[in-house]
Amino acid sequence: MKPVALVIMDGIGRGDGGPGDAVKLAKTPNLDKLLTEYPHTWLKAHGTAVGLPSDDDMGNSEVGHNALGCGQIYAQGAALVNDRIATGAIYQSETWHMLVDNAKAGKTLHFLGLLSDGNVHSNIAHLLALLTEAKKEGVERVRVHILLDGRDVPATSALIYVDQLEKHLASLGGDYKIASGGGRMKITMDRYEADWGMVELGWKTHVLGQGRQFATAAEAIETLRAETGAIDQDLPPFVIAANGEPVGRIENGDSVVLINFRGDRALEISKAFDYKDFDAFERPGYTGVVYAGMLQYDGDLHLPEHYLVAPPDIRHTLTELLVEHDINEYALSETQKYGHVTYFWNGNRSGKVSEKDETYVEIASDNVSFDQKPRMKADPITDKFVTAMASEKFQFLRCNFPNGDMVGHTGVLPAVIAAVEAVDEGLGQIMAAADKYGYTLCVTADHGNADQMYDKNKKTGALSPRTAHSLNPVPFVVYDKSVRLKDGAFGLANVAGTVAQLLGIQAPDCWEEGMLAE
């Protein structure tokens, strides 16, 4: 059997060919060739196909890479939390009792996280349910620290969620208030340690109560939008104050819940709250809080120590299968998606299954707005991937080009077009390497994004920039005309079985079927 190389074009799906379809607008001769001359199908990459509650839920890179790497469909983040809230099991957990008992002993209960119903990192419905239960159980003082979305939901929708939250707080009565906030791409929600300054700024905002003061969250959002012209995800931080004093600093000994269920942008702020030997930035006067995550975001690091809902226990991954057969693997991306081709690919596992059989390579991402440098690290990713192919050391290689997703989230159409073209150039060089070195090349994506850069107003027909993922299918192509694919409806979880077929390995019975025709 020939070795297999898999290219994941992050955020590149099949759009409608309209004015917001950056994939169609871009010059992509290599992708066009694959989709016209070689065996291909379209994969479902959202909703129930990746373990989310419904097909109205957008896919994301984390659940997408889980499905790609394990060949199975596991109930994921939102679905897990929905179930535990619906059954009341979340309120029976030792962690919930610990948080509430501490608050009832005279401390404040704080909720921190992304305020939207995007269902990618969080869902406001979870927050409202936890607030209701806290009130029911007699918690007297609650503060909410809101991170504005505009990325997994419409770009300027924050006031809708703030209004929903304010009305709920008012209905509960008592000392329940919003205390601070800011855009998710400005404070708190960095990932992969790309910009600790974001997390430090969030710390200063939520914990120290430092920042520009406003009487209400709505006033803050309206004022900062008018002054900066920024969409929600990029709004500066703000502090809610009365008589010149913040209404809700996070004090030592308080109870704090991070309501996000997705792990990548929850790890750094969790380290800041949980780690005694934390040194990424100064935490003046901090001695500790009773901290919990909605989930445990990293099982191997046991981070955070306390959590409300256990994550899925993913077993029988593709990597485990390949290690059993002594197949050498290679995984590559830049920082922004490095964790996706390693940690998420391997079923939320930190570290390698086998030091002998796995090689991981990370290229440091630039700390700039991605619309300013839409090529990102496509060129060094291509170079290193081709070099790895040429080495003939590996029987299975995978890489992720983040451009379509990370630049897609900026909402800047010309930059997204350039990003897609950069990926296509890299793809062309990898196709040439597959010919030269004798690889079977597979090309796919984890979800859509660049393929839908505008939303249309249902009433007026007006177009507005879209920064969220799409619900569109993604390609799966085999760069080999001798291969035949089955007819049928497939999803991301069918890719692992297909890789096993190409390598001549028997897949576990628990996997979704491979797509190669017999």
Dihedral over alpha carbons 445, 446, 452, 457 (to 10 degrees): 160
The one-letter amino acid at 93: S
What's the rounded Cα separation, in Å, for the pair 516 and 43?
14
CA atoms within 13 A on the CB side of 399: 28
Scan for tokens 């997705």, then name that residue. Answer: 262
Residues 104, 140: Cα–Cα separation, whole Å: 7
- Residue owning tokens 């800047």: 412
Rounded distance between C-alpha atoms, residue 389 and residue 292, angstroms:
43
Of 61, 180, 270, 333, which is the active-site residue? 61
30 contacts 422 by C-beta, under 8 angstroms? no
The verdict on whether 61 is a catalytic residue reads yes
Q: How far apart are CA 507 and CA 498, in angstroms?
A: 9
DSSP string of 213-266, one letter each residue: EESSHHHHHHHHHHHH---GGGPPPEEEEETTEES----TT-EEEE----STTT
Q: C-alpha distances in angstroms, 156 versus 148, 240, 410, 451?
A: 9, 20, 13, 20
CB contact set of 11 (below 8 Å; sequence gap of 6+): 61, 402, 403, 404, 405, 406, 408, 445, 446, 447, 448, 449, 450, 469
Phi/psi for 441 (5° steps) reads -100, 130
How is residue 514 written in tokens? 């491979």
Q: Which of 270, 343, 260, 254 is nearest to 295 (CA)?
A: 260
Token pair of 138 as six digits? 């007699």
DSSP designation for 340: I
Is residue 373 classed exposed, middle or buried when 0-12, 13-18 and 19+ CB atoms within 10 A define those classes? middle
Q: Who's near 94: CB < 8 A, 6+ residues apart?
A: none
What are the backbone angles phi and psi of residue 256, rounded to the nearest 5°? -135, 130
Question: CA angle, 513 as apex, 502 and 67 as ends, to 5°?
Answer: 90
Burial of 100 per CB tally in 10 Å (0-12, 13-18, 19+): buried
Closest CA to 63 of 76, 54, 79, 53: 76
The DSSP letter of residue 371 is T
Angle at 498 between CA 493 and CA 502, to 5 degrees: 155
* Active site members: 61
